Structure 1
Amino acid sequence: MRNALLKIGLMAGSLSLVFMIFEIGLRFAGWSPIYEVYSKPSIMWQHDDLLGWSHVPGSRDIYIGPRPWPIEFETSIEINSLGLRGPEVKPLPPSGVRILVAGDSRAVALEVPYKQTFGALLEKNLKSELNVPVQVINVGVRGYGTDQSYLHFRDRGRKLAPDLVIFLHSQNDVRNNVTLHRMRRPFGKSVFVLDEAGEPELTGFPVPSFPLCSSISLTTSYQVFRRDSLTQRIFCNLQLVLFDRSATFTMVTMRIQQNPQLIARLYRVGAPDETASARNTDIETLPWDRRLTEALLTRFARTVRKSGSDMVLLGRNNTLGDIAAEAVSIEGARLIPLDDAFNGLDPAEVRFVNDGH
């Protein structure tokens, strides 16, 4: 037994030595760890007691991705003193119009230069058509759900006194609204639960810190449930401690980029399937998460209306139409489906190949 353990130890030591020599050779050959090639998920983020995370005011960086696929964008990003992407917000002329664009990664659009974002293009077109000063302020933050966009407007965005709020709804909002922490994400968030009257009630505030290798969400009875397994936590930690700091892993990734499906499977090993139901008897195939999102949209629209602003909801009709019914019929928000805008377009013309945006 002792000899067997000694052999195993010698074998492990030999493999480690070979790996170290190979790693050093790759470094001298110009290879870098994967996080020196791509941007970290937390680029320009800071912990936020209310929102979970927000942009660091005044920060600048280059956003490179998508990790770990072939690089499709290297974008210069500037965050203003309010923690928003774009130029500093100037006083609005008396005849001017101010618009806020809220949402997640599709709103903030880190993949493209600021002048190519939805908000910047909208501002340019409206100035030309209305012939009045127009300000479009991008308050989007990567990874935000409906809940975080609502909280941002309630406590911060409304102070900008917009005439119009445009909320860009994404398909993953429903999932994000019941998620406290996603595996490998540096920050978690609070969540809303529905009270007996069906109204959203904030819980988990101020936002605590979460283990980096954890996946935590709500059940149908709004109980906090940790979804990750021991195997997933082990692989996650291996990735963070070893793979992300290894030039060898970078080389392997670059070599198999011709097989994006294989890369996707390898990259997601160790992370629970965020789109699947958790392995818990309390998780059912019921639209309880959609009911929560519907209540959040209604509360969001009500808060916008009471602040004296109008609201427009943008999104795919098959994911937004039914859950926006109350926000439209009761609170006066306007729903504009985006389905027709994409009809007849080649996805390759409007999406990055591997990034999904």
Structure 2
Amino acid sequence: MNADARRRFWIGPVLAVTSLLVVLFSLEVGLRVVLDEEREQRLPRFGVPESVQARIAWSEWQSRRDKYGTTSYPSSFDEPDRNLGWRIRPNVDVTHVKPGIYEVSVHTNNRGMRGLHDVASEKRHGAARVGVFGCSQTFGETVNDEETYVERLGERLENVEFLNFGVRGYGTDQMLLYYEQDARTYELDVVVLAFAFYHMKRNDSGFLFYAKPYFTLSDSGALALSGVPVPSPEELAAEDLEQYTWPLADRSVLLRWTWQRSRNLRGRDLYSPDGDAWMLTRALISRFTESASASGAHVVVMNIDESHRELEDELAALTDELGAGLVNLGPALREAAENGISYTLPADNHWNAEGHRLVADWLQAYLCSHALTRACDRPDPPVSASLSRGNA
């Protein structure tokens, strides 16, 4: 091959590579222009598995704690727990702030539950007792103490004690362990499991906001507990996570954005009715229902998530099979949004005070109409909730 032929041979590949580099450079520059600093910082590390990414985020957050302090955002009401991962600290008294979004007063009682009133193991004589298990929506981290839906119900129904077992960041697995290890001793007449379909991701992980226990499901359908005892913060801080990272690739916004998109695509399968995450979550709800029923409590599953209507029928079939009550707030929340009712905070998916009031109305209507509590004054919910009795 003479010199001219060799040059012609290489012109095509060189032009192709040059064009590709120009396109990639343009995309890199374009993303840096489009994404603001906050969105760019939220992009995941390139090539890092999601569970490791969560551990890295936790380590970085730990290093910033001194900067933010205990009364600014992000703050922590939590303390490490070897069996649960974390739990709410007792006797918290803080102002919880997310600048420009909310500034609220947060108290916890002697038992580490949200609320101003201390709680005894034994219920008040002549009163019924309802325990509500959930995540940050139930804890109510973005509203004042008296504005949470659990506190509202306690104020409305004088002969019923409502205990708030909500813990920020919990999945169904941690709620189950919380009930079995601690809460079953509280003489609960009714147990409400405030369930959201986004808990499925938490159930499928051994590290999300912090290290946590998790269950796996065998081929026979049996649940097996893993991840306990949960490592201490000191043990986690000593781990070398840099071995999982690609520092040079992390300098590219394009690579990190592409990695995020691929993760999002994989995450779509999480909510499949035939997927492993739903099968695991079904088993967790079933065991929760069986454990609480064995202790003599009526069980009510309350769906607080309006985002995955494709799974609402699956949840209804499961609660019917288990003989549990169902309060499906998905349709009601969607109807509220269609009617222009603002029930979440701006730039934050947590409920505002109006959202908590609506949830209190709907849950009260269900509990009273199904004779699960006494001395009820039933409100008319502002929009209809899908309420199924089961055998509760």
**2:137 corresponding residue in structure 1:** 106
Give the conservation status (yes or no) of the 8 Å contact 1:97–1:163: yes
Residue 179 (structure 1) shift = 1.4
Give the conservation status (yes or no) of the 8 Å contact 1:75–1:111: yes
Letter in 2 for 1:341: A
Give the conservation status (yes or no) of the 8 Å contact 2:123–2:187: no
Letter in 2 for 1:146: T
User: 70-79 or 188-197: which moved more?
Assistant: 70-79
Q: Give ranges in structure 1 of 5+ residues lacking alignment.
A: 1-32, 128-132, 217-225, 236-264
CA deviation vs aligned residue, 1:51-95 (integer Å, no higher than 9, x gap)? 101111222222111xxxx52211111121211111211453332
Give the conservation status (yes or no) of the 8 Å contact 1:99–1:162: yes
Residue 98 (structure 1) shift = 0.4
Give the conservation status (yes or no) of the 8 Å contact 2:82–2:229: yes
In the alignment, structure 1 residue 122 sits paired with structure 2 residue 114: no
**1:277 corresponding residue in structure 2:** 266
Residue 321 (structure 1) shift = 3.8
**1:190 corresponding residue in structure 2:** 213
Q: Which of these residues, 99, 105, 113, is aligned with residue 84 of structure 1? A: 113
Partners of 1:179 and 1:124 lie apart in 2 by: 37
Give the conservation status (yes or no) of the 8 Å contact 2:71–2:95: no
Helix, strand or coil at the partner of 1:322: helix
Helix, strand or coil at the partner of 1:88: coil
CA deviation vs aligned residue, 1:100-129 (integer Å, no higher than 9, x gap)? 1111011101110121111011223333xx
Residue 50 (structure 1) shift = 1.0
Structure 2 vs 1, CA of residues 284 and 57 (structure 1 numbering), >3 Å: closer, same or farther? closer
**1:256 corresponding residue in structure 2:** none
Please give the residue correspondences for 1:16-95 in structure 2 after superposition, counting only pairs within 5 Å: 35=68, 39-41=72-74, 43-65=76-98, 70-86=99-115, 87-90=117-120, 91-95=122-126
Helix, strand or coil at the partner of 2:94: strand
**1:162 corresponding residue in structure 2:** 188
In the alignment, structure 1 residue 171 sits paired with structure 2 residue 197: yes
TM-score (structure 2 length as normaliser): 0.60
Helix, strand or coil at the partner of 2:266: coil
Partners of 2:119 and 2:140 lie apart in 1 by: 19
Partners of 1:35 and 1:72 lie apart in 2 by: 16
CA deviation vs aligned residue, 1:291-310 (integer Å, no higher than 9, x gap)? 00010000000001001001
Partners of 2:321 and 2:297 lie apart in 1 by: 16
Please give the residue correspondences for 1:1-357 in structure 2 after superposition, counting only pairs within 5 Å: 35=68, 39-41=72-74, 43-65=76-98, 70-86=99-115, 87-90=117-120, 91-127=122-158, 133-182=159-208, 185=209, 187-209=210-232, 211=236, 229-231=245-247, 276-277=265-266, 287-315=275-303, 316=305, 318=309, 319-323=311-315, 325-330=317-322, 332-342=323-333, 343-345=335-337, 349-357=342-350
Helix, strand or coil at the partner of 1:154: helix
CA deviation vs aligned residue, 1:215-268 (integer Å, no higher than 9, x gap)? x9xxxxxxxxx9x74359978xxxxxxxxxxxxxxxxxxxxxxxxxxxxx9xx9
Partners of 2:271 and 2:139 lie apart in 1 by: 33
Give the conservation status (yes or no) of the 8 Å contact 1:232–1:271: no
Give the conservation status (yes or no) of the 8 Å contact 2:300–2:325: yes
Letter in 1 for 2:84: L
CA deviation vs aligned residue, 1:21-59 (integer Å, no higher than 9, x gap)? xxxxxxxxxxxx972597354512111111101111222
Residue 212 (structure 1) shift = 6.7
Residue 154 (structure 1) shift = 0.6
Q: Give ranges in structure 2 of 5+ residues lacking alignment.
A: 1-65, 351-392
Give the conservation status (yes or no) of the 8 Å contact 2:302–2:328: yes
| Structure with larger Rg | 2
Partners of 2:331 and 2:190 lie apart in 1 by: 23
Partners of 1:34 and 1:337 lie apart in 2 by: 41
**2:373 corresponding residue in structure 1:** none
From the two aligned structures, give the one with the greater helix fraction: 2
Helix, strand or coil at the partner of 2:192: strand
Give the conservation status (yes or no) of the 8 Å contact 2:69–2:75: no
Residue 347 (structure 1) shift = 6.1
Question: % of aligned pairs identical?
Answer: 26
